[in-house]
Amino acid sequence: MITSTANAQVKELIKLMKKSRVREEAGVFLVEGPRMAGELLEDPAWQDRIERVYLSESYAARHAEETEDISRKCRMEIMADAVFAHVSDTKTPQGIMVVVKRCEYDLEDILGNETGESHVIVLDNLQDPGNLGTIFRTAEAAGVTGILLSRDCVDIYNPKVIRSTMGAVFRLPFLYVDDLPGTIGELKQAGITTYAAHLEGKRSYDQENYLKGTAFLIGNEGNGLRDKVAACADCRIRIPMQGKAESLNAAVAAAVLMFEVSRQRRN
């Protein structure tokens, strides 16, 4: 059992928890809590990617059978409760944390099985962890095939983002790209119509037909899409707004667009 916060694994975990760069160099991410960790442990594809499972002493004592089962399937360590709390990213640590190898996706994964049915969300410099998590969660429910992110978006592997995806991050393909305009060009070559969500869009989002391959470009919370990204789109659309509202939250705007696709394709 790990009983000291000076332990090398503990120090490494804290770096992985706090530093995006360290996570990326190691090619892993951290998942906390019984619900999200349980999902990885029960999914054969993800189980193979688990590098190590950490349990708090009291969690292991409360869940003897599960602990036994985990120790057979994965490399596992028990930590004194105080050490676990020291590592945990949450105020009330739930006693289970998993280090997992990342899954790498490519553009084909993002497009889904049939590019005629692709439904892609493209995020340009999105910064808020809660928004990114909510967009993943919503996207899975709306039947999005994959998510593209500019390299300067917030890190999806940020522990707060992971939690707020409610597991969608394990199931929805995504890809960070250096050259977002270039990648949007590839979408267009694949026959996908690209729509920029833009306050100055001339056409209302619900006047378009999304039955064929569709991608929405969503911009930064404060500044919207960068000009060079918006310029790539086939069409600028807006969500009509009443009152004195000047804009919508980025995750809300994305949700309204994604569920309009879902609605049209269902009907």
Contact residues: a second copy, CB under 8 A: 130, 134, 137-138, 140-143, 166-168, 171-172, 204, 206, 239-249, 251-252, 255-256, 259-260, 262-263, 266-267
> Per the structure block, which two tokens stand in for 52?
């190590």
Nearer to a second copy, 156 or 184 (CB): 156
* Smallest gap from residue 25 Cβ to a second copy (A): 29
3-class state of residue 146 by DSSP: strand
* Smallest gap from residue 104 Cβ to a second copy (A): 20
Nearer to a second copy, 35 or 75 (CB): 35
* Smallest gap from residue 249 Cβ to a second copy (A): 5
Nearer to a second copy, 36 or 83 (CB): 36
* Smallest gap from residue 2 Cβ to a second copy (A): 32
Contact 252, 218 (CB under 8 A): no
Contact 102, 27 (CB under 8 A): yes
* Smallest gap from residue 134 Cβ to a second copy (A): 5
* Smallest gap from residue 85 Cβ to a second copy (A): 23
96/53 Cα distance (integer angstroms): 7
Nearer to a second copy, 10 or 166 (CB): 166
The angle at the Cα of 149, spanning 148 to 151, to the nearest 5 degrees, equals 140
Nearer to a second copy, 72 or 266 (CB): 266
**Alpha-helical regions (H) of the chain:** 8-18, 20-26, 34-42, 44-47, 57-62, 64-73, 81-87, 107-111, 129-141, 159-164, 180-189, 227-230, 250-266
112/120 Cα distance (integer angstroms): 9
* Smallest gap from residue 171 Cβ to a second copy (A): 6
Nearer to a second copy, 24 or 221 (CB): 221
> Per the structure block, which two tokens stand in for 116?
């005629």
8/199 Cα distance (integer angstroms): 50
- Starting at the edge strand found earlier in the chain, the sheet holding 50-56 runs 28-32, 96-101, 50-56, 76-79
